[in-house]
Structure 1
Amino acid sequence: MPFRRNKALFLFFFAMLALLNQPLCAGQNSDMKLRTVVIDAGHGGKDPGAIAPDNKLKEKTITLDVALKLGQRIKDAYPDVKVIYTRSKDTYLTLAQRTNIANRNQADLFISIHVNSVKGNSKPRGTETFIMGTDQSHANMEVCKKENSVILLEDDYTTTYQGYDPNEPESFIFFNLMQNAHFEQSVIMASKIQEQLRKGPITVDRGVKQALLLVLWRTTMPAVLVEIGFLSNAADRKQLASEAGRKEIAGRLFTAFSQFKKQYDSHSGIEIDTTPSSASTEISSEKEKTKPASTTASDCWMIQIFASKKPVKPGAPDFKGVKQYVEIFQNGYYKYCTGRYDSREEALKALPALRKKFEGAFIVHVDNSNRIL
């Protein structure tokens, strides 16, 4: 329809203007040390977030407790790191206010903590971590709608969020052009979080995913949104409701933070990339081309070593001696992946060796037709 087409063009134009004015390195201090972290406890005040079936346990209470526990662990271990909470009590903040806090304080890392829930379905469980991206699969779009719908509580939200409406698909065009300049760093942090969370108390690992989340959109530093479990699932809810469970979850997040900080401070494997060239969780496949590595009959895990806007010739210096690889053309980029592993754990064992050659290498899940999931 003409109205929808015009709106899409308007959002495209506005997004381009916003992108040109977005600082690429606002969150980076001059000596590249992680000195400021903003911890965002999801929801709060008049916005309870997800609510348990018995109406007693609310997401806003869980996220605040875990956020405060995480922040205290960081303060105790790293006195030189400034910890900033978007909220330290049961108060309501808009999504824009949350990201403004991070940007205003020139944070080096933004961690938003949330709890998942599925209405009418108690089976889904586990943890997952989101980064800003363009995956429009049904499951991720549902998460987007759930987390972004809080803006409907705000006055004049269409002005604040420049025309975005969580109920209109056209609005997601806006996000496609607003990729975070710190995409690679966000991927690394998200991966470390999932590596830790799968150790318990909630052991189901739903992976690292991309989603078009407003709370991540405006951040000018590495940013992740972690869903620490499902309130709609009895097993997850038991851990989220317990002091011991929340303490352990905060401890896992702290370990991930410590690992990320060590890597960040040493400049090891973290480079600022102003293109979405390593979009490991993108789904829509436009065209696929296979190089020497053979395909299998089922999904597998691979390691993406680099990506390029243009195809790279076999034997080029970019491969640094790697001869077995797969070239996947997806969302406008040629992505080069090597190795085929039956499990993520096997890929994790091979990752350190490859990172000696390719500092930004990371694990991707690939289906039997060589599409990155």
Structure 2
Amino acid sequence: MDVFLQIHKFIIKLKKLFNILIIATFLVASSTFIFAQKSYTIVLDAGHGGKDPGNLGNGFKEKDIALKVARIIGEDLEKHAYIKVLYTRDEDVFIDLWKRGDIANTAKADLFVSIHCDSHTSSAYGAGTFVLGLRGNKKNLEIAKRENAVILLEDNYKEKYVGFDSNSAESVIGLSLLQEENLDKSLEIASIIQNNFANKLKRLDRKVKQDNFQVLRETIMPSVLIELGFLTNRSEGAFLDSNSGQKQMANAIVQAIESYVDHLKLNTVKASSRSKVTAKEVKSDFVTNTDIEFKVQIASGRNLISTESHNFKGLKEVQRVEVGLYYKYYFGNTAQYKEVVESLKTAKQKGFVSAFIVAFKNGEKISISEANKME
């Protein structure tokens, strides 16, 4: 009997040990999954600050309102474990425009959101969101000039922004390639923000617009500049200066950012050695008997996206090329320039409004004019 009792006790111990191992395995697996989740970095930029008060319509201070709204947004976003929030300023200090962009670039941020309040000599009102672009009209350019004029308050601004003239359209246009590539994502988040302002808060919708804000030019990720409303309109200024108004506007922006990040998560696949594609591999798959190839660049970013057509608005045979920390997405690979022009039209009709043609020789990027001479 003693022997059977000892065996029984031993079996019970084994069962307990087995259960402990199962629980431990589950916990490790769960924690691995949690820590494996991608983190998204959002940079919040409260406009103006310190010696630069921004606009002072009806005695309200743009710099104070922008900072309060940015803080509310940040506090709400930080409740998500997968979102990391950085501020270009979290107190009343003056920050150079180039430094604001540098903070976001150094952090390899996924999104840059700049918060401002508008002004006008009329009783204009309403909220608007800007993305960087070349298609701004004269009215939008005036807004950009006002926001960019803060450059003149910076130390050594002539050296930092060589050739910059806040009153010159040419000075506020020189867009970089990478910024143009991010335009689609910037337009996406801007549209969600405006939709929330108009439909959830019933603010007058001043639409998504493109123009040439210096603070957006300094960033190399999807970026938007939000004009919460007009401080020069007494009623709207009072709303934006109130705790209630600031919370409402901030919540609308938070919800938009959450929706945008959710979309990024859905369109992001885990990187693996088999999913990486080189320029040579793309070339050999789609172009033969020539060392010149044309293609349409439709997107670029740090997210590795499956090239299935449903991820690119129905475009087929999309190619992905890894370039440093970024992935570039191409469509319509061909040796004929006339064919790539048609592919560009197709891409733009599908909604890739910032798409453009690129050319390669033996996998090395060259100018279109040079490629046409060799065709």
> What TM-score, normalized by structure 2, do the two folds share?
0.63
Matches within 5 A, 1:78-157: 78-118=80-120, 120-122=121-123, 124-157=124-157
> Is the Cα contact below 8 Å between 2:131 and 2:210 reproduced in 1?
yes
Q: Which amino acid aligns with 1:83?
A: V
Deviation per CA, 1:245-297: give whole Å up to 9, x if none. Answer: 110111000100110000011117xxxxx98969xxxxxxxxxxxxxxxxxxx
- In structure 2, the CA distance between the partners of 1:218 and 1:337, relative to structure 1 (3 Å rule), is closer
Q: Which amino acid aligns with 2:77?
A: I
> Is the Cα contact below 8 Å between 2:40 and 2:261 reproduced in 1?
no
Partner Cα distance (1:116, 1:148) in 2: 13
- In structure 2, the CA distance between the partners of 1:185 and 1:162, relative to structure 1 (3 Å rule), is same
1:67 aligns with 2:78: no
SS in 1 for 2:122: coil
Q: Which amino acid aligns with 1:121?
A: S
- In structure 2, the CA distance between the partners of 1:335 and 1:121, relative to structure 1 (3 Å rule), is farther
Q: Which amino acid aligns with 2:99?
A: Q
Tell me what 1:43 maps to: 48
Cα drift, residue 121 of structure 1: 1.2
Matches within 5 A, 1:175-324: 175=175, 179-201=179-201, 203-267=203-267
The structure that has the greater radius of gyration is: 2
- Stretches of structure 2 that go unaligned for 5 or more consecutive residues are 1-35, 269-294, 300-312, 316-329, 354-375
Q: Which amino acid aligns with 1:189?
A: I
Moved more, 31-40 or 42-51: 31-40
Cα drift, residue 170 of structure 1: 3.1
CA RMSD of aligned residues (A): 3.2
Cα drift, residue 66 of structure 1: 0.4
Cα drift, residue 230 of structure 1: 0.7
How many matched pairs?
262
Deviation per CA, 1:22-77: give whole Å up to 9, x if none. Answer: xxxxxxxxx99452110000110000001122x2x10000000000000000012x
Identical amino acids, percent of aligned pairs:
37
Deviation per CA, 1:85-128: give whole Å up to 9, x if none. Answer: 1111111101011011101111111111111111x212x11111
> Is the Cα contact below 8 Å between 1:34 and 1:261 reproduced in 2?
no
Tell me what 1:21 maps to: none
SS in 1 for 2:55: coil
Cα drift, residue 232 of structure 1: 1.0
> Is the Cα contact below 8 Å between 2:229 and 2:236 reproduced in 1?
yes
- Stretches of structure 1 that go unaligned for 5 or more consecutive residues are 1-30, 269-273, 279-303, 319-332, 339-357, 363-373
Tell me what 2:172 maps to: 172
Cα drift, residue 361 of structure 1: 6.9
> Is the Cα contact below 8 Å between 1:96 and 1:215 reproduced in 2?
yes
Q: Which amino acid aligns with 2:84?
A: K
> Is the Cα contact below 8 Å between 2:298 and 2:347 reproduced in 1?
no
Q: Which amino acid aligns with 1:81?
A: I
SS in 2 for 1:174: coil
> Is the Cα contact below 8 Å between 2:131 and 2:190 reproduced in 1?
yes
SS in 1 for 2:180: coil
SS in 2 for 1:46: coil
> What TM-score, normalized by structure 1, do the two folds share?
0.63
> Is the Cα contact below 8 Å between 1:38 and 1:85 reproduced in 2?
yes
Deviation per CA, 1:325-353: give whole Å up to 9, x if none. Answer: xxxxxxxx747788xxxxxxxxxxxxxxx
